[in-house]
Structure 1
């Protein structure tokens, strides 16, 4: 990603908010910790991603296989597919470089045709920068990818319980169908080719995102479908990037998704209140009072007349946002110190912060999918108590 000079025009009309139910304290306590799976040397989720993974290289292939195998081996109810493309790059001497986007989807089991499900899209890029040589890209974006895998696993059993209960209720009543607002699914999008090969331009960046957004806009569902295209079925595009350094401050970038930002900020407050976060809030150096500690999401009270930075940061959301998709961009401002430096590696991750982002992302997905009452301790871990953290 990079900082852009221009400001993209913001949509002027808020999209109608879909149903959203908050999680109780008891449900928040059941969300499992990533724990050993995020160990940078041996962790089953994170460690295999911490390697150079430039598109078209063996490292990229190995990481893509790891990501796909995670769903195939651990989450068999998720549908894994790929959106593939090729492109020349400024360094490829005319050779077509392959780019492979991974899509993992979980929809209600009663859906039997495309175009009937609105989805929460949780997104990160898995490729790494080509220079400096040996660049790992732990915050950029190995750790965000690991966070999304953890979130998918953590909500999977609750989704199964919810949808089984809904089907059983429908079958036992006179109502033969299920309400349309319950046709909500979730997708994990792990995108390739976000980084520029030489220098950031409209054509040397966002290779995978550009290809997917274009293809999904042109893939048309049946005329009678609820959603016209795969692109239109994205209710919210939540992009995680540059997460894993200590003391991040993430602004609310877009007015039209500030309501979603506020929901996530409320979750952060609740998780900290319950003692479930491991990291401490950052101190504002200009306002040292304890009441002015900065949370990750510190702009929940932002006013319409305040400055909105959406459009200044180039990232994978741009091709989707240009086509009307609503975006919640979770990227710190300012960027972390290690951004695009060789020391953006596993050793420089702040693991408390990494685990907290994983917890917060999971909680947000669970609220979006209305999993209150279905999050139980046997869904991935025992209930966590304050003194265990």
Structure 2
């Protein structure tokens, strides 16, 4: 993203309409049951989610193709029920000497199995996966390898619960045959998309033309791609209920302002989740990042009067509602070689993964559908038996039902 800002007039804030959407508060038990981000996924040298992204990945290079393959393999092997696709474009850049540079946007979608794509409204969780071309060897760990890995974790964290919810809705006759059916169940046509954008960074210096290559192409394409005639949503742009963009995350003690009054309701939900996760000792970054990242709702609204130029801009210009999760001020490693894995604050990285998964679970209404994880723990001195820690009953061989993470 650029160090460019555009003024929002505070006096106009009361004139903006408020976007409302269904939201399901999560119980303490559900928050505790959400999968715990682990070194297995987030170790900087061997983590299955993060480490493959911690390489230079300038658009059109081998590194970019490797990271794109990482995304494709993850969804194919770990989340096969998600529908994946790419959107391709080319453009010349100030440094390409007239050559066309390829840009590939990747997205994975999970919609209710009974719903047509044109009837679904989605939470779209977004990060850019390209890295800056200079300085040479730049990794961009916060910018934005960590946000990409965080979104992968969030998708995996809710996948099984989402399947259970949709199976339950179908069994109870809440699925419906068309929008508005399903006995008024308002989230019968709610889906989720993970979107990884290419070409966010400028190749020379940030301008409207030298930046946001993938986002500009995709927003234009989705605006001009209509759904079928009888669909409830006009085009692919109108299928986005909320565009949740993560950027510059992974350094300790971030401060995240609320940038848009029309999505302050969503900001408030995330702030509340952060506060609850801290109180329940689910956050790991108490020592490195002890202060709240979001402004606590009880302390009133605090809007940042400046808007940061980032991948949301082409979508915002087309009327999409945006929640921009980006620190202000930027982390000190912004656009320097130190923005690498070694300079990440790993407790903060894992806390972002947990918080984002919790937000996604609340949006999708997964209260009551997140099951306690299974863990192999010998019980009572006899290997091979497992205990439900809630009831103390032996449940099976080789696993322990665990309600506390």
SS in 1 for 2:214: helix
Q: Deviations over 1:171-221 (max 9, x none)?
A: 899x99524622100000000000000000000000000001111111111
Match among 76, 88, 99 for residue 80 of structure 2: 76
Q: Partners of 1:100 and 1:122 in 2: how far apart?
A: 17
Tell me the number of residue pairs that the alignment of Structure 1 and Structure 2 aligns.
Answer: 374
Once the two structures are TM-superposed, the CA of residue 3 in structure 1 deviates from its matched residue by 2.7
Task: After TM superposition, give the deviation of residue 14 of structure 1 in Å.
Answer: 2.4
Distance 1:211 1:301, change over 3 A: farther
User: Residues 171, 125 of structure 1: CA spacing in aligned structure 2 closer, same or farther, 3 A cutoff?
Assistant: closer
Structure-2 change in CA distance of 1:172 and 1:301 (3 Å): closer
In the other structure, the counterpart of 2:92 is 88
Written as runs of structure 1 = structure 2, the 5 A alignment for 1:369-388 is 369-378=364-373, 383=402, 385=404
Displacement of 1:34: 2.1
Q: Secondary structure at the match of 2:252?
A: coil
Q: Which residue of 1 aligns with 2:318?
A: 323
1:272 is aligned to 2:278: yes
Aligned counterpart, 2:172: 169
Aligned to 2:378: none
Q: Which has the higher contact order (CA 8 A, sep 6+)?
A: 1
Moved more, 376-385 or 144-153: 376-385
The equivalent residue for 1:191 is: 197
Alignment RMSD, CA only? 2.4
8 Å Cα contact 1:209/1:316 also seen in 2:
yes
Using the alignment, how far apart are the partners of 2:175 and 2:135 within structure 1?
61
Aligned to 1:237, which of 243, 247, 258?
A: 243
- The Cα shift of 1:2 comes to 1.4
Q: Which whole-Å CA distance do the structure 2 matches of 1:255 and 1:76 have between them?
A: 37
TM-score normalised by structure 1 residue count: 0.91
Residue segments in structure 2 that go unaligned for 5+ positions in a row: 376-399
Aligned equivalents of 1:180 and 1:5: distance in 2? 41
1:28–1:261 CA distance, 2 compared to 1 (3 A): same
Alignment pair present for 1:7 and 2:7: yes
- Would the aligned equivalents of 1:32 and 1:382 in 2 still touch at CA under 8 Å? no
How far off its partner does 1:383 sit? 4.3
Task: Name the CA shift for 1:277/1:229 in 2 (closer, same or farther; >3 Å).
Answer: same
Which of 21, 27, 47 is residue 43 of structure 1 equivalent to? 47
The structure with more radius of gyration:
2
Residue 83 of structure 1, CA deviation: 1.0
Segments of 5+ residues of structure 1 without an aligned counterpart are 284-292
Structure 1 match to 2:337: 342
The two structures have a TM-score, normalised by structure 2, of 0.87
SS at match of 1:150: helix
